[in-house]
A = this chain, B = another copy of it.
Amino acid sequence: MKPENVLYGELQEMAEITKAMGHPVRLYILKKLSRLNACCYSGDLVEELPVGRSTLSQHLKELKYAGLIQGETEPPYIKYCLNRENWEKARAMFYALFDEDRQL
């Protein structure tokens, strides 16, 4: 594989997901949502975390963009849950990385 192409594909995809996870606020949200059948509302989070509403909204947006969570309208709230399908994909990528030394 030529050097120019080494960083595309799965590696690029994993980097985007990892980057989206690389902030304490976003990890907090993911940790909370990863519990079985968990979900949350922006309003809950803003009371648990030391950030303003607009900042929190940005973090949620990033997690959504990375495909790790999804929001479902439940007026007057928006209910956030994990995107389980992508979460499993992410899990598989991390497991593969961390188990690299066991795949011989």
Known contacts A4-B50, A34-B97, A101-B36: A15-B11 contact under CB 8 Å: no
The prevalent SS among residues of A at the interface is helix
Known contacts A30-B97, A49-B7, A91-B98: A21-B24 contact under CB 8 Å: no
Least CB distance from A12 to B in Å reads 5
| Copies of the protein in its oligomer | 2
Interface of chain A residues 17 through 66 with chain B (CB within 8 A) = 18-25, 27-28, 30-31, 34-36, 38, 47-50
Least CB distance from A80 to B in Å reads 15
Contact indicator A18/B27 (Cβ below 8 Å): yes
A-B contact pairs, 17 of them (CB 8 A): A3-B49, A3-B50, A7-B50, A11-B27, A11-B28, A11-B31, A12-B24, A15-B22, A19-B19, A20-B22, A21-B22, A34-B97, A34-B98, A34-B101, A35-B100, A38-B101, A95-B98
In the A-B complex, the 5 residue pairs with the closest CB atoms: A19-B22, A34-B100, A18-B22, A7-B24, A91-B98
